[in-house]
Each structure stands twice: as C-alpha cells, then as structure tokens.
Structure 1
C-alpha cells in the first residue's frame, strides 16, 4: 500500500536545487520507486489542440527521450478522461482495445494502460503513462487514488516554481515565444510556421498563462530571466 506521508516526503526531493532535466527524470524515478509499475512515460499536455508531446521514457534498464510521441488526446478516450477529470485511470483487456487509438505510440505487451494526470487545481501540465506492472498488482480504487495524489503533488511543485513550469511549454509555444523575442510579428510567424494568426495568438495566450505572466513582454522577460532563451 502506498502511504500519503511516504509520497509527501519523496516529493520534497523534487524541490531541491536540481536542473530541469534532472527534475523530470526524478519525477519518474520517484513514481517507479513507490508504485508497482515497471515502466513510465512522461508527456506534456497543451489544451491548445488537446496536444500531448512525449518527454522521457524510463524503465529498469534506463531512459530515453520520446519527443517523437505527439497526439491529439481526444482520439484516446482513457487519456482524455484522465485529463478532463484529473483522476488516474486504468484499462486492460477488452476495455483497453476500446479505449486506445490504433495509432497510439505507446504499446503494451499485456494490453493494459495506466494514465496519471499531473495537475494543479484545474490546470493539467502533463501526464504519466505505464503499460507494464509488477506481478500480482491489483489496480483497485485505493491504488488509483494514490496515483492521483502523486500527480496532484507533482503538479503543485511545478506550479509553485516558474523554472519548472517553463519546461512544460509545448515545443510550438516555446518556438512562438522565441520568435516574439526576435521581433517577429504575428503575421510573419504565421507565414514562416505555416499556421494561422489565430493559432499563433492561441499559442501566445497559452504560454503566457503557463509562465504566470501578464502579457507578451512579461512572458518573454521571464524566459530571458530564467535563461531559457538568450
């Protein structure tokens, strides 16, 4: 059984002065240390287009970057449900086949998937997926509640630290902010990136919100101050 106090003590390790990359890896290391999972996928989430983008995969043999994973989660009911309700969700067997998109990148030998949203209040930063579990694992309501708690506590750490939150800007959001920093207009960005001006403005709005900024200039200033762009 996963205990609240144990999770809380481990979460404090995320607040120590470590690099962004180290913190993201540690999120998965703590997750695998306390829960009966054998693998873990960390993905960021942007409500703009319901887009999920892979960050890191970790299992007992090591880890790799998974930036090639990119999906509209509306095509994957279990992930969409976990994010919408901000609760850990699990499916297996025939239910797995109903819940999963045929094109989804994460595969499972056992046809099972766990989704743990990382959130703070109503905002979802991303989620963790697992497809392999320790022998004899029973995914009951108590265990799912513990997974949900972990996602909530991780989300609280991310929300309380602007440095960490910046890491959860999507690739497109960060690209747009970098272009703003060089002085490109919305029209110029739309032409160069082959997307509409409305989409550019949506990326900007989402990035400003994630950075806790007041406007474009403030958001760019935060990125410079944190050394994310230079």
Structure 2
C-alpha cells in the first residue's frame, strides 16, 4: 500500500534537482519506485488538436526519448476517459485490445495499460503510461487513487517549477496567456478569467510571439513546448 504522505514526501524531493531533464527522469523513477510498474512513459498533452506528445520513457532497458510519438487522443476512448475524468485508469485482457488500436505502440507481450493524468488544477497537462507490471501485481482502486494523486502532485510541481525557471523570457502575464492558449482557451475566455480586455489579451499574445521569434500562436506554443516551458 502506498501511503499518501509517502507520495507527497517523495515528490518534495524533486525540489532539490536543478536540471530540467533530470527532473523529468526523476518523475518517472519515483513512479516506478512507488507503484508496481516496470515501465513508464511521459507525455505532454495539449487540448489544441487533442495531441499527446512523447517526451521520455523509462524501463529496465534504460531511458529513451520518445519524441517521435505524437497521437490524437480522440482516437483512443480510454485516453479520452482518463483526461476527461482526470483520474488514473487501468484496463487489461480483451478490454486492453479493444481500447487500443494497431497504431497504439505496445510490445507483443503487452496485455494491460495504466494511464495517470498529470494535472494542474482542473487542467490535464500530460500523462504517464505503463504497460509492464510486476509479477502478480494487482491494480486496484487504492492503487489507482494513489497514482491519480501522484499525477496531481507532479502537475503542480511542474507548473510551479516552470513558472519560476522560465518566466524570465516572457512576462508573467505573457506566459499565463500562452499557457491558456495551449490549454485551448479562446481570447474571450482568457479575457474573462484574467479580468482584462480582449485587446489586452491580444497585445500579450503579440508581444509573446515576438519575444519567442515565432510566426503565429501555434508556432509560439510549439516553441514553448520545445523549451519545456509548457
């Protein structure tokens, strides 16, 4: 059984790490230590296009980059449920093969999948996927609740860290606007939630695009993803 306080204590250890890539590695390493999984793949998620983009994967074979993996999650009802409900989910056996398609990458001996959303507040910013488990592992409601908690704690950690480390290039407001764009919010929605005019939102967007040397909003969001800022 993974106690809540143990998960919180372990995530707090991430604060001592200063390198961005090492932090991402440690997030997966902790995941493998805390839960009965033998592999973990970290993905970004953006509601713009509903894309999940691979970052890194960790298993007994070591660490590898999975940036070539980029899928529209609307093709996978299982992933849609995880993101919509913001809760970890597990499926195995026949249900696993029903929920995945020939395009969904898994080894020939894979028969189950566990996916945990990484959340910041009510927004899903990524997810961790596992398809290999300890012998005899039972993924019950208690484990799923713990995995869900881990995703929430990691999401808050990532956002808090990136806010401090990456706000030098963009102003606080510019960065806030660009994150909201990445989350799929419209100009009007941003103006309402930030209590500013739509014109001011557009000005923040324009200045952020210029600072990033981007051609448009999508290019700017892509650059922020590339730099690991969002």
Which of the five TM-score ranges fits, normalised by the shorter chain?
Answer: 0.7 to 0.9
Give 2:143's aligned residue: 143
Shift in Å, 1:23: 0.7
* 8 Å CA contact retained: 2:88, 2:144: yes
Q: In 1, Cα distance between the equivalents of 2:110 and 2:71?
A: 22
Shift in Å, 1:105: 2.1
Q: In 1, Cα distance between the equivalents of 2:81 and 2:180?
A: 26
Q: What's the CA shift string for 1:182-216, capped at 9, x where partnerless?
A: xxxxxxxxxxxxxxxxxxxx99932898xx9x622
* 8 Å CA contact retained: 2:93, 2:112: yes
Give 1:206's aligned residue: 182
TM-score (norm 2): 0.74
Q: Does 1:216 align with 2:205?
A: yes
Give 1:9's aligned residue: 9
Shift in Å, 1:107: 3.4
Give 1:183's aligned residue: none
Q: In 2, Cα distance between the equivalents of 1:10 and 1:35?
A: 12
Q: In 1, Cα distance between the equivalents of 2:44 and 2:180?
A: 17
Shift in Å, 1:120: 1.5
Q: Does 1:45 align with 2:45?
A: yes
Q: CA RMSD in A?
A: 3.1
Number of equivalences: 191
Give 1:75's aligned residue: 75
Structure 2 unaligned regions, length at least 5: 171-177, 186-193, 195-200, 214-223
Structure 1 unaligned regions, length at least 5: 167-176, 178-201
Moved over 3 A (4+): 163-166, 217-224
Q: In 1, Cα distance between the equivalents of 2:90 and 2:68?
A: 24
1:165–1:60 distance in 2 versus 1, CA, 3 Å: farther
Q: In 1, Cα distance between the equivalents of 2:165 and 2:50?
A: 18
Q: In 2, Cα distance between the equivalents of 1:78 and 1:208?
A: 21
Q: In 1, Cα distance between the equivalents of 2:149 and 2:183?
A: 26
Q: What's the CA shift string for 1:41-84, capped at 9, x where partnerless?
A: 00100100110110001012311000111100011111111011
Q: In 1, Cα distance between the equivalents of 2:52 and 2:66?
A: 11
* 8 Å CA contact retained: 1:57, 1:63: yes
Give 1:157's aligned residue: 157
* 8 Å CA contact retained: 1:158, 1:165: no
TM-score (norm 1): 0.74
